[in-house]
DNA sequence: TTGTAAGCGTTATCAG
DNA sequence: CTGATAACGCTTACAA
C-alpha cells in the first residue's frame, strides 16, 4: 500500500456510511448514492467516496438496507441431514446457484434438535427471508401460516402431500413413477419375494415411493415386506438387511429371506448393499438384487455400482431456482422433475 | 382456532410491532418489551400482546434489532465443496451446533464462481456477521483486512500458513503428524516406491500433509512421486491412479509403478482405491497400499474399508464452536485437533 | 449534483 | 408499568 496515512484503524465496530462521509467530506446521502447502482453522483465525489470506503473497509449494511425494501436477499434453506450423499450434493448445487444469483443462503439444520421444530423454523422469518426452501424434514402447518401472513414465499421439495391450503411452490420428482420403475425392474429380474426399506418418517416423499412400489408389486402378485423404521440413513439400511436377509439357522428363528430389496434412498440402499455383500456374505445381484432411489454421486462409484432411480440433480436445482426467482406476488406453481432408471450392477 | 375474528389476513408484507401494538391497544415500546427477556410488562398487557402477535403472525425483526446491537447472531460459513464426504459431515455437525446455540448460519459456496472471490466473501460482511468461518478455499488478505477493520472475528480451519498479521482464531489438525503417520504406515507395510496425491491448490492444509509425508519418506530413503493436479475430488484420485499405477506395456511408454499411495483427503484416496481395484484390476493391499486423510463416514463403509488418518469431527466441531463463542474483544487463539491412524484394510 | 429530512422496525432512555 | 422520543444505518423524496 502506498496511500499515505492509510494505517488500518480497527474501529472494533462496523464502519458506517457516516464514517465514510466524514472522511470523504460529503454527506451520508451522497455516500449512499455512490453505492446505489442507478444513482446520480459526480465523478469526483464518487471517486473520493470509493477511496475513503476502500481505506476504511466500508461495506453497505444490507440489514439496514433491507428495512426499506419489501424483500431481502436472504433465502432460508432448511434440512435435516446435510451429510446424506444426495442431500449434500443438492445443497452444494443450490448454494452455488444462489451465490451466482447474488442471493444469500441462510442455512438451518433441524435435525438433532430437542426443541420445537416449528419455533426453530419460524426463526428464519426473524431474518426476513424472502423465501423458505424446505429440502427435507417436517413441514409444520404453523410455518405455512407464518409465511403466508408475512408474505414470504415457500418452496417445498419432494413433499407429496402438502398441508391443506399451502401457499407454496411445489417441486416434485415423480415418486409414483420411480417406485413403479423400481418394482418393474425387480420383477423383471425374476424376484419372487421382495422388501422395501423406508425410514420411519411419515409425510415424506419416501413414503410415496414405497407406496408406489408396493402397489405395483401387488398388481403383479409378488409379496412385499415393508420395513419402516429408523432414520434416513446407512445404518437403517444395514439393520434392515440383517433382518430381511437373515439366513435360516437354528438360532435365528423363522426363515426370512428376500431376493430383492428397494431402498427408498440411495443411502439406505447402500447400507443394504454393503451389509449383504460384506457382512452376510451374499452375492449381489446373485443372491439378492438391490435398487435405490436418488442417484447420489457415490452410487456410481465402482465400489457400489448401484442400480437406482435417478432424480436429476440439475433439473431439481434448476426448478428450485426458478421457484426462488418468482416475484413476490406470483401465483404458486408446481415443477415436476423427471425420474428414470439408471442401470448398473446390483440387479440381476 | 376459537378466537373470534381471527381470520388470517395476509398483509403481503412482514407484520411489524406497530401492527401488533394497534391490535393490542398499546404502544410500540410495550410490544418491544413484551419480547425482551428481562423487561417489565404487566401481565395483562403481555397477554394481550402475545395473543395479538400470535394472531397476526408477528415475529421480531432481527435485522432491525441488530442495528442497535454491536453483534448479530449471524455466522458466515464459507466453503467450496459441500458435496465432499468429509466437508459435508463437517457442515452438518457445525450447522447443527450453531442452531443449538441460537446462532444462524449464513452459508457461502465459493466454488464455481467466475467472479472475484474476495469480493464474494466480503459480501458476508454486508450482513454484519459476527464471525466468518472458513472451512475451505482461499483466504484472501483482503478479507482478513476487512474483518479486522469491521471488528468481525474470523475462524480459520486447517489453514497452516495464515496470512501475515492475521487476526483470527486458528483451528489446526496436526497435518505434520498426520503426514508422518501415513508415511510410517506405508513404510511399515514394506512399500519401496510411493506417491502422494494432492489437489492443485497451493495454500491449503493438504500441502502440509503432503510435505510432511515426503519429508518422512525422504528420511527413510524411500522415493516418492508427488502428483499435484486437479481439484480435491474423487476424479483427481482416479486420474492419479491411472497415471501412477499404469502397468508396463508396449503402448504405455516408461514403466511407472508404485506400491503405496497417500491421498491427502479421503475423497482423493477413495478415487485411487476404486480405480486401482475395479478399473486397473489391482489388489489392494496386495499389489498396492492406499491410505487417506480425514476419516469421512463413507471411508469406514465395508465397501471401502479405507485405512486413514483421522481428524476427529467431534473435536473439530467442538473447537470451531469454542472459537465462535469467544467474545468480541477476546485475544485470538489456536486450537489443535489431534490426529491418529485408523487401521482398516487398504494397507498391507 | 448535492444536502436536508423523513422513514424503515427495532431498542434504549427518560419522563410520567 | 407505560408512552414519547431518540438513536441504529440506510434509502429516498424533496429542496437547494
* pLDDT tier at A2, thresholds 50, 70, 90: very low
Cβ of B64 near strand D (under 7 Å)? The reply is yes
C-beta atoms of B13 and A270 within 8 A: no
Q: Is the peptide bond before B313 cis (omega within 30 degrees of 0)?
A: no
Q: Which residue among B57, B234, B304 places its CB closest to the CB of A145?
A: B57
Cβ of A33 near strand D (under 7 Å)? The reply is yes
Q: Are B158 and B86 in contact (CB under 8 A)?
A: no
* pLDDT tier at B57, thresholds 50, 70, 90: confident
What's the whole-number mean pLDDT along residues A59-66? 88
CA B101 → C1' D4, Å? 36
Q: Which residue among A66, A99, A274 places its CB closest to the CB of B63?
A: A66
Range scoring the smallest mean pLDDT among A36-40, B194-198, B214-218, B221-225:
A36-40
Pairwise CA distance, residues A186 & B193, whole Å: 47
Query: What are the chain B neighbours of A60 within 8 Å (beta carbons)?
Result: 126
CA B26 → C1' D3, Å? 9
Pairwise CA distance, residues A171 & A207, whole Å: 16
CA A47 → C1' C12, Å? 37
Cβ of B42 near strand D (under 7 Å)? The reply is yes
Half-sphere exposure for A173 (CA within 13 Å, toward CB) = 25
Query: What are the chain A neighbours of B66 within 8 Å (beta carbons)?
Result: 63
pLDDT, tens digit (0-9, with 9 covering 90-100), for A159-193 = 887 777 778 999 999 999 999 999 999 999 999 99
Q: Is the pLDDT of residue A9 over 60?
A: no
C-beta atoms of A123 and B110 within 8 A: no
CA B63 → C1' C15, Å? 29
- What DSSP line would sit under B117-157, residue for residue? HHHHHHHHHHTT-SEEEE-SS---HHHHHHHHHHT-EEEEE
CA B7 → C1' C12, Å? 35
Q: Are A76 and B95 in contact (CB under 8 A)?
A: no
Q: Are A143 and A157 in contact (CB under 8 A)?
A: no
C-beta atoms of B77 and A112 within 8 A: no
Strands A104-109 and A153-157: unpaired
Q: Is the pLDDT of residue A4 over 80?
A: no
* pLDDT tier at A71, thresholds 50, 70, 90: confident
Q: Which residue among B113, B126, B298 places its CB closest to the CB of A60?
A: B126
* pLDDT tier at B329, thresholds 50, 70, 90: confident
* pLDDT tier at B264, thresholds 50, 70, 90: very high
- Nucleotide C2, nearest residue via CA and C1': A30
What's the whole-number mean pLDDT along residues B90-119? 88
Pairwise CA distance, residues B57 & B54, whole Å: 5
Query: What are the chain A neighbours of B8 within 8 Å (beta carbons)?
Result: 145, 148-149
Query: What's the whole-number average pLDDT of chain A?
Result: 88
Coil, strand or helix: which one is A219?
helix
Chain C positions with an atom below 7 A of a protein C-beta are 1-5, 7-13
- Nucleotide D5, nearest residue via CA and C1': B29
Q: Are A258 and A149 in contact (CB under 8 A)?
A: no
Range scoring the smallest mean pLDDT among B41-50, B79-88, B199-208:
B199-208
C-beta atoms of B301 and A112 within 8 A: no
Nearest residue in B to A167, CA atom: B10
Q: Give the mutation candidate from A14, A105, A113 for the B interface (greatest B CB count, under 10 A).
A: A14
What is the phi/psi pair of residue A294, to 5°?
Answer: 135, -55
pLDDT given at position B196: 98
B42 nearest nucleotide via C1' and CA: D1
Q: Which residue among B125, B149, B279 places its CB closest to the CB of A56?
A: B149
Q: Is the pLDDT of residue B10 over 70?
A: no
CA A36 → C1' C4, Å? 19
What's the whole-number mean pLDDT along residues B69-87? 90
B217 CA to chain A: closest CA distance, Å? 30
C-beta atoms of A127 and B328 within 8 A: no
Angle CA B272–B277–B283, to nearest 5: 110
List b or e across A71-109, with b for residues whose CB sees 16 or more CB atoms inside 10 angstroms: bbbbbbbbbbbbbbbbbbbbbbbbbbbbbeeebbbbbbb
pLDDT given at position A85: 97
Q: Is the pLDDT of residue B58 over 60?
A: yes
CA A54 → C1' C16, Å? 48
Q: How many cross-chain Cβ pairs, A to B, lie less than 8 Å apart? A: 218
B213 CA to chain A: closest CA distance, Å? 27
Q: Are B264 and B196 in contact (CB under 8 A)?
A: yes
CA distances from B206 to B45, B160, B196, B197, B242 (A): 59, 9, 11, 9, 21
A44 nearest nucleotide via C1' and CA: C1
What's the whole-number mean pLDDT along residues A199-216? 89
pLDDT, tens digit (0-9, with 9 covering 90-100), for B169-219 = 999 999 999 999 999 999 999 999 999 999 887 768 899 999 999 999 999
Chain B residues 19 to 38 whose Cβ lies within 7 Å of strand C are: 28-29, 32, 35-36
pLDDT given at position A177: 97
Helix extents (H) in chain B: 17-24, 28-34, 43-56, 62-68, 85-100, 117-126, 141-150, 175-188, 205-219, 234-244, 266-274, 313-325
Q: Which residue among A14, A67, A151 places its CB closest to the CB of B63?
A: A67
Q: Which residue among A10, A72, A270 places its CB closest to the CB of B151?
A: A10
pLDDT given at position A122: 84
A43 CA to chain B: closest CA distance, Å? 23
Half-sphere exposure for A189 (CA within 13 Å, toward CB) = 28
Q: Is the pLDDT of residue A281 over 50?
A: yes
B21 CA to chain A: closest CA distance, Å? 16
Q: Is the pLDDT of residue B339 over 90?
A: yes
B36 nearest nucleotide via C1' and CA: C11
pLDDT given at position B4: 32
B100 CA to chain A: closest CA distance, Å? 7
Range scoring the smallest mean pLDDT among B62-76, B272-286, B321-335:
B62-76
Coil, strand or helix: which one is A163?
coil
pLDDT given at position A141: 80
> Among B78, B77, B79, which residue's Cα sits nearest to residue B232?
B79
Q: Is the pLDDT of residue A87 over 90?
A: yes
pLDDT given at position B114: 64
Cell of A139: 413441514
> Among A230, A221, A228, A166, which residue's Cα sits nearest to residue A193?
A221
pLDDT, tens digit (0-9, with 9 covering 90-100), for A223-256 = 999 999 888 899 999 999 999 997 655 554 444 5
* pLDDT tier at A344, thresholds 50, 70, 90: very high
Cβ of B67 near strand C (under 7 Å)? The reply is yes
pLDDT given at position B113: 64
Cβ of A333 near strand C (under 7 Å)? The reply is no
Kindly list the structural domains of chain B, giving each domain's residue range(s) and its CATH number in brackets, ordered by start: 4-60 (1.10.260.40), 74-173+314-338 (3.40.50.2300), 175-311 (3.40.50.2300)
Pairwise CA distance, residues B246 & B260, whole Å: 13
pLDDT given at position B115: 67
Query: What's the whole-number average pLDDT of chain B?
Result: 88
Coil, strand or helix: which one is B8?
coil
pLDDT given at position A173: 94
CA B57 → C1' D14, Å? 36
Cell of A141: 402447518
Using a cut of 0.75, tell me whether the model's pTM lies above it.
yes
Strand ranges of the sheet holding B307-311, from the earlier edge strand across to the other edge: B224-228, B194-198, B260-263, B289-294, B307-311, B339-342
B44 nearest nucleotide via C1' and CA: D1
What's the whole-number mean pLDDT along residues A271-285? 95
Neighbours of A330 (CB within 10 A): 11
Polymer length of chain B: 348
pLDDT given at position A200: 83
Chain D positions with an atom below 7 A of a protein C-beta are 1-5, 7-13
B64 nearest nucleotide via C1' and CA: C10
pLDDT given at position B5: 32
Query: What are the chain A neighbours of B35 within 8 Å (beta carbons)?
Result: none
CA A130 → C1' D13, Å? 26
Amino acid at each position: 500500500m502506498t496511500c499515505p496515512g492509510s494505517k488500518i484503524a480497527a474501529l472494533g465496530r462496523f464502519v458506517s456510511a457516516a464514517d465514510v462521509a466524514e472522511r470523504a467530506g460529503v454527506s451520508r446521502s451522497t455516500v449512499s448514492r455512490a453505492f446505489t447502482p442507478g444513482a446520480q453522483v459526480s465523478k469526483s465525489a464518487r471517486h473520493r467516496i470509493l477511496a475513503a470506503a476502500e481505506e476504511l473497509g466500508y461495506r453497505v449494511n444490507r440489514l439496514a438496507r433491507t428495512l426499506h425494501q419489501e424483500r431481502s436477499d436472504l433465502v432460508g434453506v432448511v434440512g435435516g441431514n446435510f451429510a446424506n450423499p444426495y442431500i449434500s450434493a443438492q445443497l452444494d448445487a443450490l448454494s452455488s446457484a444462489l451465490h451466482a444469483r447474488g442471493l444469500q443462503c441462510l442455512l438451518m439444520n433441524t435435525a438433532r434438535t430437542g426443541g420445537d421444530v416449528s419455533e426453530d423454523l419460524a426463526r428464519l422469518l426473524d431474518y426476513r427471508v424472502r423465501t423458505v426452501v424446505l429440502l427435507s424434514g417436517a413441514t409444520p402447518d404453523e410455518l405455512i401460516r407464518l409465511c403466508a401472513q408475512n408474505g414470504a414465499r415457500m418452496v417445498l421439495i419432494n413433499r407429496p402431500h402438502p398441508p391443506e391450503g399451502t401457499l407454496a411452490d411445489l417441486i416434485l420428482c415423480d415418486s409414483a413413477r420411480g417406485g413403479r420403475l423400481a418394482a418393474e425392474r425387480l420383477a423383471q429380474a425374476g424376484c419372487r419375494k421382495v422388501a422395501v426399506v423406508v425410514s420411519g418418517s411419515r409425510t415424506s416423499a419416501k413414503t410415496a415411493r414405497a407406496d408406489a412400489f408396493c402397489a405395483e408389486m401387488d398388481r403383479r402378485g409378488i409379496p412385499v415386506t415393508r420395513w419402516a423404521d429408523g432414520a434416513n440413513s446407512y445404518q437403517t439400511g444395514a439393520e434392515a438387511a440383517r433382518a430381511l436377509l437373515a439366513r435360516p439357522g437354528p438360532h435365528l428363528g423363522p426363515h426370512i429371506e428376500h431376493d430383492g430389496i428397494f431402498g427408498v434412498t440411495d443411502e439406505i440402499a447402500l447400507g443394504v448393499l454393503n451389509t449383504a455383500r460384506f457382512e452376510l456374505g451374499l452375492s449381489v445381484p446373485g443372491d439378492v438384487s438391490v435398487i435405490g432411489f436418488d442417484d447420489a454421486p457415490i452410487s456410481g462409484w465402482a465400489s457400489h455400482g448401484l442400480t437406482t432411480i435417478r432424480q436429476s440433480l440439475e433439473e431439481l436445482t434448476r426448478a428450485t431456482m426458478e421457484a426462488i426467482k418468482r416475484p413476490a406476488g406470483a401465483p404458486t406453481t408446481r415443477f415436476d422433475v423427471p425420474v428414470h432408471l439408471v442401470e448398473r450392477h446390483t440387479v440381476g
